[in-house]
């Protein structure tokens, strides 16, 4: 009997708890309605010049929420006219959040339309995105059409585009440096082809130090496609003989005083060694210490490699067969070679 009463009480408690939970959705719906009304008030405030928080790009928050997307589409439809009035009489237009949403959806046509109807967004600072300008926002997005968004801004707003390209955000980062970090080759190619990206000159799109700090990564990851793009930017704007300056790119050294060919040989990477030997690398670099008086040339580096014997032999042959570069490749006086001639 006691057991029966306990079970009955437990059932009643369970039903009571379930009823309390079932009441929550109604409360949540009221909160959602309040939030939407608050958002509308914020848009009106922004039209009056008051500060408004910029929306972020967050696909996860929008998934499964058809109501929000429907509201956004309705807002876009309303904004198709140049002068749209809120019910209280305040004129409103496209906002930062609209622009971010277009980028998120890879909607280039809507992006173009928004900019054409609210050019003030070109000079906006996206505070919640890290004090970024529009190019920072585009370059840091996960969009598959970053290069297309950049091209739209450049073709229709060249002056503003060039200004934004050389502006640092609050972290001191340039837009093109974000593309570089993300390895967005298509977008970088666009900047290079448009003659907007140079490592030298009064204004640079990517710091040369960033390039040098990535030398080992370039070699380790065999980033030859990226290197081909960057080599076209490795010169001064309007340089008469840019190819002369470009020849020096593959001879650059990182903070450890090591260059491209050093890391390729150390890795025992035959494929990368062959690629670099076609790029005017120097084989006469002494990687040793002038302070302590010891020398270390490129084949001395090979001796330290963990590559197998076959790979080492092939690399050694590639280096010794390199023509036209009369440079020492051994530190041992009995093995110093100039080109293909051995000096005893």
Q: Among residues 229, 317, 331, 225, which one has the least CA distance to residue 265?
A: 317
Domain presence at residue 257: no
- Residue 27, pLDDT score: 36
Residues with Cβ < 8 Å from 126, sequence gap 6 or more? 54, 96, 100, 132, 133, 134, 136, 137
Q: Are 307 and 268 in contact (CB under 8 A)?
A: yes
Residue 12, classed as helix, strand or coil, is helix
Domain presence at residue 116: yes
Q: Which domain holds residue 124?
A: 94-185
Quote the tokens at residue 232: 């076209």
Q: What is the DSSP string of 42-102?
A: HHHHHHTT---PPPP--HHHHTT-HHHHHHHHHHHHHTTSSSEE-TTS-EE---HHHHHHH
Domain presence at residue 209: no
- Residue 67, pLDDT score: 55
- Using N-to-C axis directions, what is the helix angle for 66-78 and 96-104, rounded to 10°? 120
Domain presence at residue 27: no
CB atoms within 10 A of CB 68: 14
Q: Among residues 165, 160, 153, 169, which one has the least CA distance to residue 203?
A: 165
What is the number of domains present in the chain? 1
Residues with Cβ < 8 Å from 328, sequence gap 6 or more? 283, 284, 297, 336, 337, 338
Strands 84-85 and 91-92 turn out to be antiparallel
Q: Among residues 98, 101, 126, 128, which one has the least CA distance to residue 114?
A: 98
Q: What does the alpha-carbon distance between residue 34 and residue 28 come to, in Å, rounded to a whole number? A: 10
Q: Among residues 176, 118, 181, 116, which one has the least CA distance to residue 147?
A: 176
- Residue 293, pLDDT score: 63
**Per-residue DSSP letter, 129:** G
Q: Among residues 64, 71, 119, 124, which one has the least CA distance to residue 96?
A: 124
Domain presence at residue 327: no
Domain presence at residue 302: no
What long-range pairs does 81-88 form, CB within 8 A, spacing at least 24?
Answer: 82/117, 86/40, 86/43, 86/44, 86/47, 88/44
Q: Among residues 170, 106, 91, 95, which one has the least CA distance to residue 138?
A: 106
pLDDT in tens, 123-169: 889 987 777 999 999 999 999 999 999 999 999 999 999 999 999 99
- Per-10-residue mean pLDDT of the chain, 344 residues long, equals 46 42 41 48 43 38 50 53 42 80 96 93 85 93 96 95 94 95 97 94 92 97 96 88 83 95 97 93 87 82 95 94 56 38 33
Q: What number of H helices and E strands is found in the chain?
A: 19, 4
Domain presence at residue 181: yes
pLDDT in tens, 17-52: 443 334 434 434 444 444 544 544 454 344 444 443
- Residue 322, pLDDT score: 82
Quote the tokens at residue 160: 């503003």
Domain presence at residue 167: yes
Q: Are 79 and 115 in contact (CB under 8 A)?
A: no
- Residue 70, pLDDT score: 53
């Amino acid at each position: 009997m006691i057991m029966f009463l306990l079970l009955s009480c437990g059932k009643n408690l369970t039903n009571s708890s379930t009823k309390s939970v079932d009441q929550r959705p109604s409360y949540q719906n009221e909160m959602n309605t309040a939030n939407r009304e608050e958002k509308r008030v914020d848009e009106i405030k922004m039209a009056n010049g008051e500060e408004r928080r910029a929306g972020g790009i967050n696909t996860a928050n929008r998934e499964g929420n058809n109501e929000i997307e429907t509201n956004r589409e309705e807002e876009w439809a309303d904004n198709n006219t140049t002068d749209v009035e809120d019910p209280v009489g305040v004129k409103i237009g496209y906002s930062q959040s609209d622009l971010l949403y277009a980028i998120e959806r890879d909607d280039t046509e809507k992006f173009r339309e928004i900019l054409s109807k609210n050019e003030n967004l070109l000079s906006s600072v996206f505070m919640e995105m890290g004090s970024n300008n529009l190019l920072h926002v585009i370059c840091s997005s996960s969009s598959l059409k970053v290069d297309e968004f950049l091209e739209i801004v450049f073709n229709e707003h060249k002056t503003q585009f060039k200004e934004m390209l050389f502006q640092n955000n609050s972290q001191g980062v340039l837009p093109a440096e974000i593309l570089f970090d993300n390895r967005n080759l298509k977008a970088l190619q666009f900047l290079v082809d448009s003659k907007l990206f140079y490592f030298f000159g009064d204004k640079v799109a990517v710091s040369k130090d960033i390039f040098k700090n990535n030398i080992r990564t370039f070699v380790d990851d065999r980033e030859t496609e990226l290197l081909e793009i960057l080599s076209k930017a490795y010169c001064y704007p309007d340089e008469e003989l840019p190819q002369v300056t470009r020849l020096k790119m593959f001879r650059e050294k990182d903070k450890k005083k090591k260059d491209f060919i050093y890391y390729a040989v150390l890795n025992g990477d035959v494929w990368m060694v062959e690629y670099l030997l076609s790029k005017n690398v120097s084989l006469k670099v002494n990687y040793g210490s002038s302070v302590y008086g010891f020398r270390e040339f490129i084949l001395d580096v090979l001796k330290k490699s963990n590559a197998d014997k076959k790979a080492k032999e092939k690399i050694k042959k590639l280096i010794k067969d390199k023509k036209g570069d009369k440079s020492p490749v051994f530190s041992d006086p009995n093995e110093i070679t100039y080109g293909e001639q051995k000096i005893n």
